[in-house]
């Protein structure tokens, strides 16, 4: 049973029998079906059903003797725009025919790992011997089961410009450090020491949320889950066609990584607005965009 079903409007779907009935209905009446072969030559398929314009459930499994055998299912949320143009390495899970994208994204300071949405398309590209299309960028999106709205940190114009200049300089240093520049590594180390000293000093008299305006860090034991805080750039509401539950879609800027998240209205504490911040835990998904 998937804990993020509630994010796309299935908050009350807690009974295993109800979930199995829903999965069977998706298999009988999918909106979309994609079939390919896996690395062992088995007929691998993905059957999906949309429950709003950007959300749905994907069921993956294998065809054996013209009968579909379910391996697993997962809720998905389709994001918008281009989140990163960094190179993405694809790694297969050991326990099932599922894949993760791994990306060294300098802006967030950690290795970005996400659940690959278009795994079937990836397998098709891997099997193409001639004329294989190259990936050009990635659209990141996320589901959240818990979050809250935080008021923004006030900044004047000089502070905003200074922050932008600092980010550009830090990205250049991180790029140089990744290429082996020892001076850049030393500069980043000294910078981190200064930041730690500043936070340690200010935390004595200020709240941490007034010092740190955004963060992005791994959460729990799952490699594709994160604890984040980011500025809300835009938001809107979607409705599950089956349950009529409403979810928020928030466009966030977290550590200068821009992506969309989807969260059930009942799981979000506070009223979202552009300029305010979202703080919560997310399950990261991603769609690799190939050349046309």
Q: What is the C-alpha separation between 208 and 212, in angstroms, rounded?
A: 6
The first and second tokens of residue 217, run together, are: 């860090």
Give the mean model confidence (pLDDT) for residues 4-15.
92
Lowest mean per-residue pLDDT among 68-82, 123-137, 249-263: 123-137
Q: Where is average pLDDT lowest: 33-37, 51-55, 202-206?
A: 202-206
Q: What is the 3-state secondary structure (H, E, C) of the chain?
A: CCCCHHHHCCCCCCCHHHHHHHHHHHHHCCCEEEEEECCCCCEEEEEEEECCCCEEEEEEEEEECCEEEEEEEEEEECCCCCCECCCEEEEECCCCCCEEEEEECCCCCCEEEEEECCHHHHHHHHHCCCCCCCEEEEEEEEEEEEEEEECCCCCCHHHHHHHHHHHHHHHHHHHHHHCCCHHHHHHHHHHHHHHHHHHHHHCCCCCHHHHCCCEEEECCCCCCEEEEEEEEEEEEEEECCCCCCEEEEEEEEECCEEEEEEEEHHHEECCCCCCCEEEEEEEEEEEEEECC
Edge-to-edge strand order for the sheet containing 32-37?
Answer: 32-37, 43-50, 55-64, 67-77
Distance, CA of 38 to CA of 33 (rounded, Å): 16
pLDDT at 41 over 60: yes
Give residue limits of the domains in the chain: 154-212
Percent of the chain with pLDDT over 70: 99
Of the listed ranges 116-125, 151-160, 164-173, 180-189, the least confidently predicted one is 164-173
Dist CA 165 CA 73 (whole Å): 44
What pLDDT digit, counting tens, does each position of 185-231 carry?
A: 888 788 888 888 888 888 888 888 888 889 999 998 889 999 999 99
pLDDT at 141 over 90: yes
Q: What is the pTM of this model?
A: 0.88
Average of per-residue pLDDT across 171-180: 76
130: confidence class by pLDDT, cuts 50, 70, 90: low
């Amino acid at each position: 049973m998937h804990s993020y079903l509630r994010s796309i409007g299935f908050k009350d779907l807690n009974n295993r029998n109800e979930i199995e009935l829903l999965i069977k209905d998706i298999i009988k009446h999918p909106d979309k079906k994609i079939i390919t072969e896996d690395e062992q030559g088995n007929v691998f398929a993905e059957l999906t059903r949309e429950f709003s314009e950007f959300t749905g459930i994907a069921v993956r499994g294998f065809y054996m003797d013209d009968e579909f055998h379910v391996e697993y299912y997962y809720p998905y949320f389709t994001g918008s725009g281009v989140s990163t143009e960094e190179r993405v390495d694809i790694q297969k899970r050991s326990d099932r025919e599922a894949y993760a994208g791994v990306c060294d994204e300098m802006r967030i300071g950690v290795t970005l790992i996400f659940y690959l949405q278009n795994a079937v398309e990836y397998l098709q590209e891997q099997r193409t011997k001639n004329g294989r299309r190259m990936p050009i960028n990635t659209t990141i999106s996320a589901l959240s089961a818990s979050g809250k709205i935080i008021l923004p940190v006030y900044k004047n114009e000089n502070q905003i410009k200074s922050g932008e200049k600092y980010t550009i300089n830090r990205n250049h240093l991180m790029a140089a450090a990744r290429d082996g520049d020892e001076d850049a590594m030393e500069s980043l180390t000294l910078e981190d020491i200064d930041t730690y000293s500043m936070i340690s000093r200010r935390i004595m008299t200020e709240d941490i949320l007034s010092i740190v305006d955004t963060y992005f860090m791994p959460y729990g034991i799952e490699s594709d889950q994160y604890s984040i805080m980011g500025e809300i750039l835009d938001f809107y509401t979607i409705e599950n066609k089956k349950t009529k539950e409403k979810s928020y879609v928030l466009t966030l800027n977290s550590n200068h990584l821009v992506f969309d998240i989807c969260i059930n209205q009942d799981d979000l504490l506070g009223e979202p607005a552009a300029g305010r911040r979202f703080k919560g835990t997310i399950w990261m998904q991603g769609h690799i965009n190939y050349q046309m």
